[in-house]
Structures are given as C-alpha cells and as structure tokens.
C-alpha cells in the first residue's frame, strides 16, 4: 500500500494504530517498524491521536513523544479533552500538555468537544467557550507547524463531523452549522 501511496503522490499516510499495548516498551518496535516502512517507501507517516488506539491516553502519548521526539502526529485533541475530562476553564497545565501534542502535529482533525462529549454543535450558545478553546488550539497548532514546516509543506486540516450518534442531541438539518445542511443529526 505504501508503494501505491508514494506512486500516486500523497504527501503522507495517516495511521490509527489499532493496538493497545499497556507498556511503552511494546509500542517502540511497532512505531519503529511503521516509520521504517514509510521511510523506505518515501512517504511520511502521521500517527493519529484517537480513542481506543495506541494513542488513546494523553500521558501515554506524551511518553511516546519522549521516545520519538520527531514523531509526526495527526492531532484530534477532542479525544483527550473528553478522555481526561478537562475542567472548565482549562488550566495552564492542560494547555501545556495539549500544546506539546500540537507541537508534533502535521495534521489536525477539526472537531470540537466538551468535557462530556467528543463532538458538540458549533452553533449552540452554551458551547461558545468550547468552540473558542478549540479555535485557539488550532491557531496555536498552525503557528507551531509553520515554524517547523518547509516552504512547500502541506498541513492537512480535516473538518470532522462524525457519524451518528456523534452530533449533539437536537442537531437537525434546520440548525446544523455545516454548509449543505442535509446530513446533520
């Protein structure tokens, strides 16, 4: 598959490592192998931060970054906000650990969460604080990426509105903030 991706000119492969080792030592050979295969094919590999994957836990992922400081991530930090149930307002300690994830991000999944729900409606007034939080994190991520990336580099920002039942209860075609407004809720 990596040869095909390289031949077609993709700039990277997004990897959701569907393994859940409980010890860091078990992850190291896996990450080394995936990175070696990608390098041999001439394609960058981005490891996605995602629930129910190797990167499900924020602190475990930070330990992976200690082992692989140049590990390229696709950041979906909504999973960490929910998984660790960040209190509101988010404190500086949690901002710092999210910034560390974002400082290794070469792709971003644009989904807004609250501490209770992995995806919330952007248009509901009670969600304004969470939307502003994520907008700030994304701005930070993009500025951080620009400092690391070459002049011809590409940053992938995927606007992610998940499958049912992820959208907020009550989200309908009438109040959906997404263009088209036909497949929400």
Report, as an integer, the average pLDDT of 75-99. 96
- Does 61 score more than 60 pLDDT? yes
28 or 166, greater pLDDT: 28
- Does 183 score more than 70 pLDDT? no
Domain ranges in the chain are: 2-159
Report, as an integer, the average pLDDT of 101-113. 96
Q: Report if pTM > 0.75.
A: yes
pLDDT bucket at 3, cuts 50 / 70 / 90: confident
Q: Give the residue carrying structure tokens 């995602």.
A: 50
- Report the chain's mean pLDDT, rounded to a whole number: 88
Query: In CATH, what class is 2-159?
Result: alpha beta
- Does 107 score more than 90 pLDDT? yes
Q: What per-residue confidence (pLDDT) applies to 1?
A: 84
């Amino acid at each position: 598959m990596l040869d095909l991706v390289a031949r077609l000119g993709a700039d990277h492969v997004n990897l959701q490592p569907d393994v859940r080792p409980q010890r860091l030592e078990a992850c190291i050979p896996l990450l080394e192998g995936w990175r070696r295969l990608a390098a041999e094919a001439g394609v960058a590999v981005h490891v996605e931060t995602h629930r129910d994957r190797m990167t499900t836990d924020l602190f475990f992922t930070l330990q992976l970054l200690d082992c692989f400081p140049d590990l390229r991530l696709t950041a979906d930090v909504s999973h960490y906000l929910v998984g660790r149930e960040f209190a509101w307002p988010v404190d500086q300690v949690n901002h710092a650990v999210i910034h560390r994830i974002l400082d290794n991000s070469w792709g971003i999944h644009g989904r807004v969460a609250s501490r209770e729900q992995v995806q919330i409606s952007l248009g509901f007034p009670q969600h304004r604080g969470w939307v502003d939080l994520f907008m700030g994190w994304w701005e930070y991520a993009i500025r951080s990426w620009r400092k690391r990336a070459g002049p011809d580099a590409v940053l992938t920002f995927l606007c992610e509105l998940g499958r049912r039942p992820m959208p907020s209860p009550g989200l309908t075609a009438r109040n959906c903030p997404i263009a088209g407004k036909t497949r929400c809720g």
